[in-house]
Structure 1
């Protein structure tokens, strides 16, 4: 259901500065975002999407023709609920967000790799990075939409998909807490030699969370850099339905 490994690439075109999507992203306090990512492994982008945009995206969930795969979590031991991977081309709003967010996050990802002693640097634009993925056989799109009902949850996990992994990803809450659903908190855990920690990230409708895919650097007790492993998941839905969009920047095998 997906297109060839190169036909969807923008080949030099970019989201123009000053467009609504670019303005939404530029309005965020990226200094605070970087500080929060360094400290906690996650950061909230408040009000990234309007309630109308959230409703329009959530309404796409039943449209099977725009997806390449549907995953029922219980069949794979992932939890309960389901999600669908979009096919290329992505819905325009998600495509624009992916292209606009990537260059904001690439400098952070590159700094983290340097601090961890990882000899991988990410190009400035998403097309160049996707070309790198596709040359390695990672050609399938990874942006997805998740749907949870009462009693559903998502086990703690990491979205890796291949050898080429961009270390940050974004999830956007499309549903309104305490109206459309209750429960269903976004959860992150941190595991290091010094111990473990769990954080609940509070989100409102239209908020996005940027978070660590796999591992991030942190300062050890003696001042040197050490790595901590991060996982993410969603707590049990107590009532209603919850929809979320996930923007992963590397493609899959």
Structure 2
């Protein structure tokens, strides 16, 4: 089986990603994301693309590191971080999704009284990361088998952290695996934590808050703290690709 995603030039992969991303209602998406800390983009990847990306997992030449979660107390399962240059489709999605999320991120920071603002294009934000010594790519491919799970966590890799990220489900629930639901928890000040279980199908993407989001209260906006994870896989095999927009030290 080929280990390459797409034989088309990178510029065409980016253009294809931009075209499919442009078809979504981003105003509705932003409202959902701001209201709940997560929002779904349905069928952003085709089944064929999902299978092609998942098939990269055994091929070490595409990755810079291999993490076994149990060794670090992250849960049970494993993942690999892609190395630069990223596969065309993953790099294209990262580039095309960023401007829509940057608008939300800037609005959130304004509401939370955070001075940081994010540039309109991803290449400019990556330059900020690299100037700060954060040069290692963070998109990753995760693999789960029965009994595996991912503890609730936040993906913060340095002083610069983009406040939103996206995970794409590459496997079909009920066919390729059972269990393995995406879970988001929100720790609200002086209140019980709120849990959100996000139903996804193959090719769907969920965007979610990495760390904090603003919530409107009676005395203005306040910050809530979020963590995300994956519940126990009960059967089969589950693959996910995660796109984090900041690079790591």
Normalised by the size of structure 2, how large is the TM-score? 0.94
The CA distance in 2 between the partners of 1:49 and 1:163, in whole Å, is 31
Q: Are the counterparts in 2 of residues 16 and 22 from structure 1 also a CA contact under 8 Å? A: no
* Uncovered stretches (5+) of structure 2, i.e. residues with no partner: 1-9
Shift of 1:19: 3.0
* Uncovered stretches (5+) of structure 1, i.e. residues with no partner: 1-13
Counterpart in the other structure of 2:138:
142
After TM superposition, the structure 1 = structure 2 runs for residues 19-30 of structure 1, keeping only pairs within 5 Å, are 19-30=15-26
The CA distance in 2 between the partners of 1:95 and 1:139, in whole Å, is 15
| TM-align CA RMSD | 1.4
**Which of residues 197, 200, 207 in structure 2 aligns to 1:203?**
200
After TM superposition, the structure 1 = structure 2 runs for residues 129-168 of structure 1, keeping only pairs within 5 Å, are 129-168=125-164
Shift of 1:20: 2.1
The CA distance in 2 between the partners of 1:77 and 1:24, in whole Å, is 37
Q: Are the counterparts in 2 of residues 42 and 211 from structure 1 also a CA contact under 8 Å? A: yes
Shift of 1:32: 1.5
Counterpart in the other structure of 2:216:
219
Question: How many pairs align?
Answer: 239
Q: Are the counterparts in 1 of residues 173 and 202 from structure 2 also a CA contact under 8 Å? A: yes
Say if 1:80 and 1:18 are closer, same or farther in 2 by CA, change over 3 A: closer
Which shows bigger deviation, 27-36 or 146-155?
Answer: 27-36
Counterpart in the other structure of 1:60:
56
The CA distance in 2 between the partners of 1:30 and 1:120, in whole Å, is 22
